[in-house]
C-alpha cells in the first residue's frame, strides 16, 4: 500500500474517531443535561398545576371562612330565617363563586340548608353522598371542636371530584360557641380544569383515582404514585407526563393529576447535538481534506516524484533526475536533491566508464587484430601447460581450429618421440630456471593435425595474470626458413662439389682421352688372335665409362641457364617416351603415358628431356625383370604435375632420404648424380621434384611445374 493511501486511511480513521468521540461526549454528557432540564420543566409544570388546584381549594377555604364567621350565618343556624336564604342562598351565590355545594349543618348533624348545583345542566341536584336533612353527627366534615378548626380537601362523589372546605360556624368575633358547620364544595369540572389550564398555561388533566376510563398509561403508573411526589413518564419523544395524586379527606387516593409537558427542550437539545455532530463531521472532513492536501503537497508529491523516477530507472535502466519543481524545501526535498546529485555523479562515472570501455574495446580490437594478423602463432597456457588461448596463425601452423586447441595440453602438438625431451625443457622453464626456451627460443619438431611434421621455433615467456603464473608461447613455422637454409647449404655444397668435380674431370679427361687413344691403337695393331685383345677391350670399356662419368660430373657442375620456351609438354613427353621405347637400355620397361590433349607449358625442352630420361633410366634399373612405368600428366590451375610410377624394387626410407645427395648411389655402375641433376634442373624451372617409394611395390616420382613462366633473375 502506498504512503499516500496510508496517510488517507489514517486521516480518515482519525476523523471518524474524532467525530465519534465528540458525538459520544455530547450524547453522554450534554444530552443528559437536556433531559434534566426537561425533567425540571415537567416537575415545575406539575407543581404549577398542583398549586393551581390548591389555590382553588384555598380560595374555597377563604370563602368558606368568610361565610362561617358571619353573624348572619350564625343566626341562620339557630333560626333558619328565610331572609338569609333569600338574600344569600340564591343561585347567583353558586354561579358567582363557582360553588357546587353549600351545606349549613347544625351540631347535631341536621341540615339547616344544603344544595348541590350542577353547573353543566344548570340545575340543583342531589347526591347520595350528601344527605339532604340529617348527617351523622360524627361525620368527618362535621368534627370541628375548636373555633380555628378547618377541614379542606377533596372527596370523590358519585357526581365527580369535589373540592371541599368545612369550617365551624362562629360569630364574627369568634367568641361564641360553635353552632354548626359550613361546608362548601366545588366540582373539579372540565370548565374548572380548563380555567386552571389557562391560568397556569399548563396542559393538565384530573381523573378520579378509581375511574374506570383511565387512559392506559395512567393505569400503568397509578400504583407507583405517592402524594405530592411527582412521577414522570415519557410517553413518546414529544411529550413527558408528570403525575401526582391528591388524597381525599379520609386519606384515600382521590384524584390523579396529569401534566403533559412538550419535550421541546430535549428535542431542541437533540437537534443542537445533531447539528453539532453534523458540523463537527463537516469540520473534520474539511480538516482531513486540508491535511490530506497539505500532506500530499509536502510528503506524498515529492515522494511520488522520487518513486516514479526510481521506477523509471529500474525499468528502463536509464539514469534520470527527479524533477526539482516537485521537490519541497524540507528533508524529503533534501533527499531528492541528494538523489539528483548522486545521479549526476553516476552519470559522470558512467560516461567515464563508457569512454574507458570504448578505449578498452579499441585496445582489445587492436590487440586482437595484432594477434590475428601476427605471422607467428601465439598461445597462452596455464601452469599445467593447458592451452587457454590461441591466435589465427596458430590455427594455420597446427591445422587445428582454436576450439580444438583450447583446453588441451601443449605437448599434444609435439610428436610422441620428442615429447619427453620437450617436457623436460618445459618443466625446467616452469620451475623458473634459465632455459633456451625462455631465452632465445628453441627449435622443435611439431605435428600438424594431418599428422605431418614441421619444424617450429618456440619462445616462451612468463606472465602474471590475476596473481597466477601463465605462459605465452610464440611459435614460428620455420619449415620454409629451414628449407631455404637447407637449400642454401645444399647449393653451396653442390657448387663446391661441382667445382671440384669439374676440376677433377678436367684433369682426368685429357689423360683419359690419351689412354683411350693409345689403347685403341694397341687394339688395332694387335693380331686378331692375340690373347691381350680381350684385356685391351676391357680397358677401352672402362675408359669409356670413366668418360661418361666425367661427362656427368661436368654436366652436374654446369651452371645451366635454361632457355625456357612455350611448348606443348604432352607432345614433348610423348616424343621422349617414344624414343625411350626403342632405347636398348630401357628394353625391359613397358612405358605408358596418359595426359590431356595438349599442355602448353613454359619449359626448357632439352633440360626437361634430360630429367625425364634420367627418371626413366632409374625406374628401368630398379626392375628385376620386365616392369611397367606409368607416366601421367595433370594440369591444375596454377601448376602442372607429371607423375612417374614404376613397379620396381622400391627403396628403404634410409635410401629415399639420401637419393638427392650428389654421388649417392646404390648401383655398382652408378654415378649418383642423376637425381641431383634432375632436382637442379626442375628447381631452375621454379618447380619441385619429390620421390616416394615402398620396397617391393615401386617408386613414384612427382614433378611439379609452375603454370606461369618463371622470371629468372
Structure letter (DSSP) for residue 256: E
Q: Of the two residues 73 and 552, which places its CB atom closer to Mg ion in the complex?
A: 552
Cell of 28: 453522554
- The residue nearest Mg ion at its CB is 674
Cell of 484: 631455404
From the list Mg ion, ligand ADP, none, pick the one residue 238 interacts with, judged by a Cβ distance below 5 to 8 Å according to partner type: none
Instruction: Give the containing element (helix H, strand E) for 632.
Output: strand 627-635
Q: Where are the alpha helices (DSSP H) in 90-156?
A: 91-96
Cα distances (Å, whole numbers) of residue 269 to 263, 265, 276, 365, 521: 10, 6, 10, 93, 178
> What whole-number distance in Å separates Cα of residue 331 and Cα of residue 350?
28
662 lies in the site for Mg ion, by CB under 5 A: no
Binding mask 612-641 for ligand ADP (x = CB under 6 A): ------xx--x-------------------
Q: Of the two residues 494 and 675, which places its CB atom closer to ligand ADP in the complex?
A: 675
Q: How far is the CB of 646 from Mg ion (least distance, A)?
A: 13
Nearest CA-CA partner of 303 in 311, 375, 616:
311
Q: Of the two residues 49 and 689, which places its CB atom closer to ligand ADP in the complex?
A: 689
Which sign, positive or negative, has the C-alpha torsion 677, 678, 679, 681?
positive
Compute and round to an integer the Cα radius of gyration of the chain.
Answer: 80
Binding mask 667-686 for ligand ADP (x = CB under 6 A): x--xxxxxxx----------
Q: How far is the CB of 666 from ligand ADP (least distance, A)?
A: 3
Q: Of the two residues 340 and 618, which places its CB atom closer to ligand ADP in the complex?
A: 618
- Single out the residue of 664, 683, 702, 709 in contact with ligand ADP (rule: CB under 6 A): 664
From the list Mg ion, ligand ADP, none, pick the one residue 655 interacts with, judged by a Cβ distance below 5 to 8 Å according to partner type: ligand ADP
Span near ligand ADP by CB under 6 A; candidates 109-117, 212-220, 453-461, 660-668: 660-668
646 lies in the site for ligand ADP, by CB under 6 A: yes
Q: How far is the CB of 660 from ligand ADP (least distance, A)?
A: 8
651 lies in the site for ligand ADP, by CB under 6 A: yes
Q: Is 446 helix (H, G, I), strand (E, B) or coil?
A: strand
Q: Of the two residues 474 and 664, which places its CB atom closer to Mg ion in the complex?
A: 664
Cα distances (Å, whole numbers) of residue 647 to 231, 396, 666, 694, 700: 154, 37, 18, 10, 9
Cα distances (Å, whole numbers) of residue 382 to 65, 406, 457, 468, 655: 145, 11, 20, 8, 43
Helix axes 479-525, 532-557, angle to 10 degrees: 150
Q: How far is the CB of 368 from ligand ADP (least distance, A)?
A: 51
- Single out the residue of 618, 645, 693, 704 in contact with Mg ion (rule: CB under 5 A): 618
Cell of 199: 391560568
Q: How far is the CB of 673 from ligand ADP (least distance, A)?
A: 6
> What whole-number distance in Å separates Cα of residue 166 and Cα of residue 133?
17
Q: How far is the CB of 436 from ligand ADP (least distance, A)?
A: 37
From the list Mg ion, ligand ADP, none, pick the one residue 269 interacts with, judged by a Cβ distance below 5 to 8 Å according to partner type: none
655 lies in the site for ligand ADP, by CB under 6 A: yes
In DSSP terms, which residues pair with 204 in a beta bridge? 259
By CB under 6 A, the count of residues binding ligand ADP is: 21
> What whole-number distance in Å separates Cα of residue 616 and Cα of residue 701?
10
Q: Of the two residues 185 and 498, which places its CB atom closer to Mg ion in the complex?
A: 498
436 lies in the site for ligand ADP, by CB under 6 A: no
The alpha carbon torsion through 45, 46, 52, 56 (nearest 10 deg) reads 170
Cell of 458: 618456440
Q: How far is the CB of 545 from Mg ion (least distance, A)?
A: 14
Q: How far is the CB of 371 from Mg ion (least distance, A)?
A: 50
439 lies in the site for ligand ADP, by CB under 6 A: no
Please answer whether residues 85 and 72 qualify as being in contact, where contact means their C-beta atoms are separated by less than 8 angstroms.
no
In DSSP terms, which residues pair with 645 in a beta bridge? 630, 700
- Single out the residue of 192, 613, 659, 681 in contact with ligand ADP (rule: CB under 6 A): 659
Q: Of the two residues 68 and 610, which places its CB atom closer to ligand ADP in the complex?
A: 610
Cell of 509: 679427361
Q: Of the two residues 601 and 622, which places its CB atom closer to ligand ADP in the complex?
A: 622
Q: How far is the CB of 674 from Mg ion (least distance, A)?
A: 3
Which sign, positive or negative, has the C-alpha torsion 385, 386, 392, 398?
positive
By CB under 5 A, the count of residues binding Mg ion is: 2
Q: Is 315 helix (H, G, I), strand (E, B) or coil?
A: helix
Q: Of the two residues 73 and 618, which places its CB atom closer to Mg ion in the complex?
A: 618
648 lies in the site for ligand ADP, by CB under 6 A: yes
- Single out the residue of 214, 649, 702, 710 in contact with ligand ADP (rule: CB under 6 A): 649
Q: How far is the CB of 607 from ligand ADP (least distance, A)?
A: 16
Cell of 510: 685429357
Which sign, positive or negative, has the C-alpha torsion 522, 523, 524, 530?
positive
Q: How far is the CB of 561 from Mg ion (least distance, A)?
A: 24
Span near Mg ion by CB under 5 A; candidates 405-413, 602-610, 646-654, 670-678: 670-678
Cα distances (Å, whole numbers) of residue 123 to 134, 156, 187, 389: 22, 20, 14, 146
Q: Of the two residues 26 and 665, which places its CB atom closer to Mg ion in the complex?
A: 665
Q: How far is the CB of 696 from ligand ADP (least distance, A)?
A: 11
- The residue nearest ligand ADP at its CB is 674
Using left for φ > 0, alpha for ψ between -120 and 50, and beta otherwise, residue 169 falls in beta
Span near Mg ion by CB under 5 A; candidates 54-62, 121-129, 349-357, 674-682: 674-682
- Single out the residue of 674, 677, 685, 705 in contact with Mg ion (rule: CB under 5 A): 674
Please answer whether residues 381 and 470 qualify as being in contact, where contact means their C-beta atoms are separated by less than 8 angstroms.
yes
Q: Of the two residues 332 and 613, which places its CB atom closer to Mg ion in the complex?
A: 613
Q: How far is the CB of 644 from ligand ADP (least distance, A)?
A: 8
> What whole-number distance in Å separates Cα of residue 380 and Cα of residue 600?
50
610 lies in the site for ligand ADP, by CB under 6 A: no
> What whole-number distance in Å separates Cα of residue 196 and Cα of residue 198?
5
Span near ligand ADP by CB under 6 A; candidates 276-284, 566-574, 604-612, 664-672: 664-672
User: CA 288, 19, 11 angle in degrees (round to 5)?
Assistant: 30
240 lies in the site for Mg ion, by CB under 5 A: no
Pick out residues in 212-241 that bind ligand ADP (CB under 6 A): none
Nearest CA-CA partner of 251 in 159, 153, 164, 161:
153
Structure letter (DSSP) for residue 394: H
Nearest CA-CA partner of 180 in 104, 115, 235, 232:
104
Binding site for Mg ion (CB under 5 A): 618, 674
Binding site for ligand ADP (CB under 6 A): 618-619, 622, 646, 648-649, 651, 655, 659, 664-667, 670-676, 699
Amino acid at each position: 500500500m502506498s504512503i499516500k493511501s496510508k496517510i488517507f486511511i489514517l486521516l480518515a480513521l482519525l476523523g471518524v474517531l474524532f467525530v465519534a468521540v465528540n458525538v459520544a461526549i455530547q450524547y453522554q454528557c450534554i444530552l443528559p443535561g437536556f433531559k434534566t432540564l426537561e425533567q425540571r420543566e415537567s416537575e415545575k409544570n406539575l407543581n404549577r398545576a398542583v398549586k393551581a388546584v390548591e389555590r382553588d381549594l384555598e380560595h374555597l377555604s377563604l370563602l368558606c371562612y368568610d361565610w362561617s364567621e358571619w353573624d348572619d350565618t350564625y343566626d341562620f343556624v339557630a333560626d333558619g330565617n328565610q331572609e338569609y336564604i333569600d338574600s344569600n342562598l340564591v343561585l347567583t351565590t353558586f354561579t358567582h363563586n363557582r360553588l357546587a355545594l353549600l351545606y349549613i349543618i347544625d351540631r347535631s348533624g341536621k341540615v339547616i340548608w344544603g344544595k348541590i348545583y350542577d353547573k353543566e345542566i344548570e340545575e340543583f341536584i342531589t347526591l347520595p353522598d350528601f344527605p339532604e336533612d340529617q348527617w351523622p353527627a360524627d361525620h368527618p366534615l362535621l368534627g370541628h371542636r375548636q373555633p380555628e378548626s378547618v377541614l379542606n380537601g377533596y372527596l370523590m362523589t358519585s357526581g365527580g371530584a369535589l373540592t371541599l372546605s368545612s369550617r365551624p360556624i362562629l360569630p364574627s368575633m369568634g367568641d361564641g360557641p360553635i353552632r354548626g358547620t359550613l361546608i362548601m364544595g366545588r366540582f373539579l369540572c372540565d370548565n374548572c380544569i380548563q380555567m386552571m389550564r389557562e391560568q397556569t398555561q399548563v396542559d393538565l388533566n384530573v381523573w378520579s383515582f378509581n375511574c374506570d376510563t383511565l387512559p392506559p398509561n395512567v393505569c400503568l403508573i397509578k400504583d407507583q404514585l405517592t402524594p405530592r411526589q411527582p412521577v414522570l413518564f415519557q410517553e413518546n419523544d414529544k411529550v413527558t407526563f408528570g403525575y401526582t395524586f391528591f388524597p381525599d379527606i379520609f386519606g384515600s387516593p382521590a384524584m390523579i393529576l396529569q401534566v403533559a409537558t412538550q419535550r421541546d427542550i430535549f428535542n431542541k437539545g437533540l437537534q443542537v447535538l445533531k447539528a453539532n455532530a453534523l458540523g463537527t463531521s463537516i469540520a473534520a472532513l474539511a480538516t482531513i481534506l486540508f491535511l490530506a492536501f497539505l500532506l500530499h503537497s509536502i510528503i506524498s508529491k515529492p515522494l511520488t516524484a522520487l518513486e516514479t523516477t526510481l521506477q523509471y530507472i529500474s525499468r528502463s535502466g536509464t539514469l534520470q533526475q527527479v524533477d526539482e519543481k516537485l521537490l519541497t524545501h524540507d528533508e524529503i526535498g533534501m533527499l531528492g536533491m541528494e538523489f539528483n546529485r548522486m545521479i549526476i555523479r553516476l552519470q559522470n562515472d558512467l560516461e567515464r566508464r563508457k569512454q574507458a570501455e570504448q578505449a578498452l574495446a579499441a585496445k582489445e580490437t587492436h590487440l586482437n587484430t595484432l594477434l590475428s594478423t601476427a605471422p607467428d602463432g601465439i598461445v597462452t597456457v596455464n601452469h599445467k601447460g593447458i592451452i587457454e588461448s590461441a591466435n589465427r596463425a596458430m590455427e594455420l601452423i597446427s591445422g587445428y581450429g582454436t576450439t580444438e586447441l583450447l583446453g588441451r595440453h601443449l605437448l599434444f602438438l609435439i610428436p610422441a618421440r620428442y615429447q619427453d625431451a620437450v617436457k623436460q625443457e618445459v618443466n625446467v622453464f616452469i620451475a623458473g630456471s634459465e632455459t633456451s626456451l625462455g631465452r632465445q627460443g628453441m627449435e622443435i619438431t611439431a605435428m600438424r593435425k594431418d599428422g605431418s611434421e614441421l619444424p617450429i621455433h618456440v619462445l616462451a615467456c612468463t606472465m602474471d595474470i590475476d596473481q597466477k603464473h601463465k605462459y605465452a608461447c610464440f611459435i614460428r613455422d620455420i619449415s620454409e626458413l629451414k628449407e631455404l637454409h637447407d637449400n642454401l647449404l645444399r647449393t653451396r655444397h653442390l657448387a663446391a662439389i661441382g667445382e671440384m668435380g669439374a676440376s677433377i674431370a678436367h684433369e682426368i679427361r685429357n689423360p683419359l682421352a690419351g689412354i683411350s687413344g693409345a689403347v685403341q691403337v694397341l687394339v688395332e695393331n694387335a693380331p686378331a688372335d692375340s690373347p691381350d685383345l680381350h684385356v685391351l677391350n676391357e680397358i677401352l670399356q672402362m675408359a669409356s665409362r670413366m668418360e661418361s662419368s666425367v661427362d656427368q660430373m661436368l654436366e652436374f657442375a654446369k651452371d645451366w641457364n635454361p632457355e625456357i620456351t612455350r611448348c606443348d609438354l604432352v607432345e614433348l613427353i610423348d616424343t621422349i617416351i617414344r624414343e625411350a621405347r626403342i632405347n636398348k637400355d630401357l628394353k625391359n620397361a613397358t612405358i605408358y603415358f596418359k595426359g590431356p590433349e595438349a599442355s602448353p607449358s613454359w619449359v626448357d625442352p632439352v633440360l626437361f628431356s634430360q630429367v625425364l630420361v634420367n627418371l626413366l633410366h632409374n625406374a628401368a634399373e630398379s626392375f628385376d625383370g620386365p616392369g611397367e612405368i606409368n607416366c601421367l600428366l595433370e594440369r591444375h590451375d596454377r601448376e602442372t604435375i607429371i607423375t612417374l610410377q614404376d613397379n620396381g624394387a622400391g627403396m628403404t626410407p634410409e635410401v629415399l632420404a639420401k637419393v638427392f645427395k650428389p654421388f649417392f648411389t646404390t648401383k655398382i655402375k652408378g654415378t649418383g648424380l642423376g637425381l641431383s641433376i634432375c632436382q637442379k634442373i626442375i628447381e631452375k624451372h621454379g618447380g619441385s621434384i619429390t620421390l616416394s617409394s615402398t620396397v617391393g611395390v615401386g617408386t613414384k616420382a612427382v614433378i611439379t611445374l609452375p603454370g606461369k613462366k618463371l622470371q629468372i633473375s
